[in-house]
Chains A and B, each alone.
Chain A
Amino acid sequence: MVSKDLVAASSRPMILGILAQGENYGYEIIRRVRELSDGELEWTDGMLYPVLRRLEADGLIVSEWRVSDAGRRRRYYQINGDGAEALATERKQWRAVHGTLEKVWGPA
């Protein structure tokens, strides 16, 4: 299980990355993360939404309330140009960290 600090630190690139694949809403974003990490990344559900608020306040994503096909009112999030740029920067930095750790630890 990944530590709380690491989960918090990776939430921003994770959300931007998922939204880069298409617009999405909170519940589905959490479900995607859980699925992609095989349950290793465990988010407290309520903690995602303040991060989404912050990303929106930073102008990286936009949101819109819409009624889903199932008839439920949901807030859908979409990444914008600035968000895509921020994601590119994040990706570069995380790759640098990941690459360095790989070299330090050697092949698993």
Chain B
Amino acid sequence: MSHREATAAEQLAIWRRSLLAHDELLRDDLDELEAHVRTAVEAQTAEGTPEAEAAASAIRDVGLPAEIAAEYAKFDPNRVWRRRLRRMLAGVLVGMVAVLVAAHGARVPLLAVRRSPGPHVRDNVYAVSAVACLVLLLGAAVMPPRARLADERVALARAWNFLATRPWTLATAMVAMLLGVLQWSGRLEQVAAHAAGVTLCRRGRRVHGDALRRRPRRRARVDVRDREWRPRAGARPYLLATVAGQ
């Protein structure tokens, strides 16, 4: 590793990343602070200070990221939570779409290969993801503070917390649970069938949501051998081909 001094651009990039870690700071705030530091660097270099030195001093003058973030949080304490909530909701939406698309994609191969009820496999995937994410989150909640851990366990704690404090962990757990419930109630079958451009039929008769729900729980999971997939009028050709090919 070289011991050369970081250039002004490198220092600014590192500094901006350290600010990004604080949810209290909005993009506008970051841009404004960065404009300030850049102006300060320009002013100092105009007086003859080397650029790297000017950057270091401008960054020092602007104050510690944690202190700046705390000041912003003082006048608007809810901004962190508003931001995290927004991010989490976005995560849930993206996760839902991704899992639905994946479930749709996995559906046909699963049926073709196994000729056995796909839903059970998916149920297990949802359950395992939900439980794994919740274990991560609970683990992070009960993890003792870093200071009380032996050195060799700090790395483990850090890795665990890193995984558990990402918004997508909670988002995945929520989506997996939601999908598990949908799957269990038989709704996902219909959503997936609709997306695939087919009508869900049983012994030649179209299966309605109500009909599925009114059935006893065990019968709600339709046995694939019992079922035909009929192309819906107006369905897209490539989906028809996929369905016809199974």
Contact = CB atoms under 8 A, between A and B. Distances in A.
Given A57-B76, A75-B35, A50 B68 contact: yes
A15 to B, nearest CB: 14
B63 A53 contact: no
Interface string A74-93: 11000000000000000000
A44 B75 contact: no
Contact of B63 (A27, A46, A75): A46
A7 B35 CA distance: 23
A49 interface: yes
A5 to B, nearest CB: 14
Contacts of A57: 75-76
Contact of A44 (B35, B40, B62): B62
A73 B68 contact: no
Interface residues of B, number: 21
Given A72-B38, A73-B35, A50 B63 contact: no
Contacts of A95: none
A98 interface: no
B75 A46 contact: no
B146 to A, nearest CB: 26
A60 B194 CA distance: 55
A53 B31 contact: no
Among B28, B40, B71, max chain A CB count under 10 A is at B71
A72 B68 contact: no
Contact of B75 (A26, A45, A53, A73): A53
B36 A53 contact: no
Given A26-B32, A73-B35, A74-B35, A47 B40 contact: no
A53 B62 CA distance: 16
A45 B76 CA distance: 20
B10 interface: no
A72 B63 contact: no
Contacts of B43: 27
Interface string B60-94: 01110001100110111000000000000000000
Contact of A27 (B36, B67, B68): B36
A32 interface: no
A65 B74 CA distance: 24
A46 B67 contact: yes
B246 interface: no
Interface in A19-54: 25-27, 44-47, 49-51, 53-54
Given A44-B62, A57-B75, 12 more contacts: A27-B39, A44-B63, A45-B62, A46-B68, A46-B71, A47-B71, A49-B32, A49-B68, A50-B71, A50-B75, A53-B75, A53-B76
Q: Which 8 residue pairs spanning A and B have beta carbons closest together?
A: A46-B63, A50-B71, A46-B68, A54-B75, A44-B63, A46-B62, A27-B39, A45-B62
7 contacts: A45-B62, A45-B63, A46-B62, A46-B63, A49-B33, A50-B71, A73-B35
Interface of B: 28-29, 31-33, 35-36, 38-40, 43, 61-63, 67-68, 71-72, 74-76
